[in-house]
Amino acid sequence: MTETRKTWFHRLAWVALALTFVVVVLGAYVRLSDAGLGCPDWPGCYGQLDVPDEAQQIARANEAYPHRPVEPAKAWKEMVHRYFAGALGVLVLALAVLAWRSRSAVRQPLALPLFLVVLIVFQALLGMWTVTWQLKPVVVMAHLLGGLATLGLLAWLVLRQGGYGLEAVAADHGALCNYALLGLVLLVAQIALGGWTSANYAALACPDFPTCQSRWWPPTDFKEAFTLWRGLGVSYEGGVLANEARVTIHLMHRLGALAVFLYLGWLSWRLMAAGHSRALRFGGLVVAALLAGQLALGIANVLLRLPLPVAVAHNGGAALLLLALVALNHLVRPETAA
């Protein structure tokens, strides 16, 4: 019976991982299509569980929220994202229940599934605050990071329990462990910068490349650019920062991208030179390919003025690169309990 539960746990973890990736990409699509306030309340939409679509329902909703008239297309985007996120919450709770029931089994992780439940609850709170605090940038960025943390932790759970690739990497790779961990930390920092750029509507503050507003270093304002808390009662839709602050954020994101590109490029080269391990060579190739793709998408976002498909793909690429770095950290460390 315990072995059956373990099998179901592993399958369910895979499903949760795939669904988390969908939720992350959907969240990016909602944010980038300016639908983050498509529903001005939470968890419903204009006081109901779906989007008002009948004339009487729309009239009632517009009367209740005169500052936010119903826009069905935006509201449906927001609600579809919430439906998927809700389904993910149920899956993560099921994982925790299965883990608890099989806690005495060998190699059954418990702490991580229970932590994921806490993380999902916090993510739900961030989703609520994103709406009720009207797209406050620090909350929007934290919501993005929480989603990617969920993705990364589920990937780690799946990889460690399944032991994927470890049979091809027989020993601890010493320095590579530290290099891989540093790569993951740098990538997370860059993703946070990207989230801050998007949340402050600074993605097009520099409409040219590689210069910014035809200059290598235009006027900047670091204090305003990185003020995290500005109080409540302000709508951040469309952004509230002046040009110099937005330019500062954009420039920092570019510099961060350069640092990550150089470091992960070097790490990829080192991995592909690891002749004794086919798994590590393949990992290096995957990281290099995703890195090149991310660079191309980032430049395209600027030159093409942030087309929605390219911008969403850039977010999806960041999620895939995160998964690749999590997998790399899994490979270079000796097998332990999940």
For residue range 217-226, what is the model confidence (pLDDT) as tens digits? Answer: 999 999 999 9
Amino acid 163: pLDDT? 75
pLDDT tens string 286-326 = 999 999 999 999 999 999 999 999 999 999 999 999 999 99
More reliable by pLDDT, 121 or 274: 121
Which token pair is 165? 């690739």
Amino acid identity for residue 44 in this structure: G
Domain boundaries, the chain: 1-162, 169-338
Amino acid 275: pLDDT? 61
Whether the pLDDT of residue 1 is over 50: the answer is: no
Amino acid 338: pLDDT? 43
Amino acid 273: pLDDT? 83
Amino acid 174: pLDDT? 73
The lowest-confidence range among 41-50, 161-170, 186-195, 249-258 is: 161-170
The rounded Cα 146 to chain-centroid distance in angstroms is 7
Active-site residue identified among 3, 54, 78, 237: 78
Amino acid 208: pLDDT? 95
The rounded Cα 257 to chain-centroid distance in angstroms is 16
Mean pLDDT, residues 197-209: 95
Mean pLDDT, residues 69-84: 94
Q: Which residue has the tokens 């099921």?
A: 94
Average pLDDT, the chain: 91
pLDDT tens string 315-334 = 999 999 999 999 999 988 87
Q: Is the dihedral of CA 101, 123, 310, 253 positive or negative?
A: negative
312 neighbors 32 (Cβ within 8 angstroms): yes
Amino acid 231: pLDDT? 84
Whether the pLDDT of residue 172 is over 80: the answer is: no
Mean pLDDT, residues 173-188: 90
- Written as one string, the DSSP assignment of 165-226 is TGGG--S--THHHHHHHHHHHHHHHHHHHHHHHHHTT-TTSS-SSSSBTTBSS----HHHHT
Whether the pLDDT of residue 19 is over 90: the answer is: yes
Whether the pLDDT of residue 167 is over 90: the answer is: no
pLDDT tens string 30-61 = 999 999 889 999 999 998 888 998 888 999 99
Task: Give yes or no: 54 in active site.
Answer: no
| DSSP at 48 | B
pLDDT tens string 226-272 = 999 988 888 898 999 999 999 999 999 999 999 999 999 999 999 88
Amino acid 170: pLDDT? 52
CA atoms within 13 A on the CB side of 164: 14
Q: How confident is the model at residue 152 (pLDDT cuts 50, 70, 90)?
A: very high
Which token pair is 91? 């899956």
More reliable by pLDDT, 325 or 107: 325
